[in-house]
Amino acid sequence: MSSLRTSIPSLISLISFEAAARLLSFTKAANELNITQAAISRQIRELENFLQTPLFERGHRSIELTAAGIMLNASLPLHLTAIASLADRVRELSDPQAIVVGTTHAFGTYWLAPRLAEFSKLNPDVDLRLAVNDELVDISKQRIDMTIRFGGGSWPSMSSRFLIGCEVTPVCHPSYWDGRRRPAGPGDLLGEMLLGIEGRSVQGGGWSDWFQAHGVETAKGKHQITVNNFSVLMQAALSGQGIALGGSPLVDDLFASGVLVPALELAPYRVRGSDYYVVEPAGQVRKQSCEKFCSWLYDRMRRDAAMTNNEHLLVEAQKSHR
């Protein structure tokens, strides 16, 4: 790494070039950086001397990028931003008690949020902020320390640790049956109002996957209301509008309170490639507050699994099953 000193130009000259290339004006770049135009010109000249090629074509009242300048400007802003982000991350280590945890709307609403009071009581010195998003955001750019993701456990440039598996079963509000006899088997649900969610469910597979797993043909006879949000799906089920797929760990609290009940006396179905993981940028130095949160998260998940007889979900499914 000793050669970096002679192979990389000065950072201030690169920052000066980036501003001048973006604004196509030495004067505007000087104003933005709060230095003189002469200083900008000097930094650009030093950079050109270092690279041994002109970066700008200088006119009487304007400047334009040369081919070399265009090449440099194509990648330089990205790398300068990466350096700035790295500096931010290092500075954040000086505040080890602050933590930003990412989560999906479903996991945040139905599992994490109801239990955060316990974490705060045990760790009053930790400043916790939740970043809720169902999209696979770049957690490094969003300055998220760690996130709880749902899927198969592999994401580029990320390290992941298994948290808990997920399984589903048909659920509904007790009032849905309105005195009717409950179905005896999976195929009987084809005549019921099924509540579905668009795309890939936050719990893994949808109704088609569930019926296929139980050997039921779904081409005909299925009645369905489809939504694009898990909270809306659960609210529809809670209001007695139909039967939804739900299960551990998201709806354990709803089962415990009796507002949702299984629609069938049938073992829950564990969806392949549909587990929860704690995900962090690969190689990231974990802050003390992150250690505290992870320790609490895994301990609470183990306790909940024991109370609901779901210890089997604490074991990661085989990779071949995903």
72-84 pLDDT, tens digit each: 999 999 888 888 8
Among 259, 184, 317, residue whose Cα is nearest residue 244: 259
Q: DSSP state, 204?
A: B
Domain housing 142: 98-164+273-321
What digits encode the pLDDT tens for the residues 217-228?
875 556 788 998
Q: Where are the beta strands (DSSP E) in 152-300?
A: 158-172, 193-197, 223-227, 243-246, 261-262, 269-281
Query: Residue 321 has what pLDDT?
Result: 36
Give the mean pLDDT of the chain: 87
Q: How many domains does the chain have?
A: 3
- pLDDT tens across 232-246, in order? 999 999 999 999 998
> pTM for the full model?
0.68
Over 90: is that where the pLDDT of 94 sits? Answer: no
Confidence grade of residue 322 (pLDDT, cut at 50, 70, 90) = very low
Looking at the fold, whether 147 and 11 belong to one and the same domain comes out as no
Task: Specify whether 189 is located in the same domain as 59.
Answer: no
Q: Are residues 160 and 277 in the same domain?
A: yes
Distance of CA 154 to the CA centre of its chain: 12
Cβ(24)–Cβ(64) under 8 Å? yes
For residues 256 and 146, the answer to whether their CB atoms sit within 8 Å is no
Q: Are residues 159 and 277 in the same domain?
A: yes
One domain, residues 194 and 153: no
Q: What is the pLDDT of residues 125-179, one digit of tens each?
A: 898 989 998 888 778 777 788 999 988 888 888 899 999 998 889 999 999 988 8
Residues recorded for the chain: 322
Taking alpha carbons only, the member of 297, 280, 240 closest to residue 119 is 297
Task: Indicate which CATH number applies to the domain containing 261.
Answer: 3.40.190.10
> Please, are residues 196 and 206 in contact by the beta-carbon 8 Å criterion?
yes
As given in the structure block, the two tokens for residue 242 are 């139909």
Give me the residues paired with residue 165 across strands: 275
Contact 37, 30 (CB under 8 A): yes
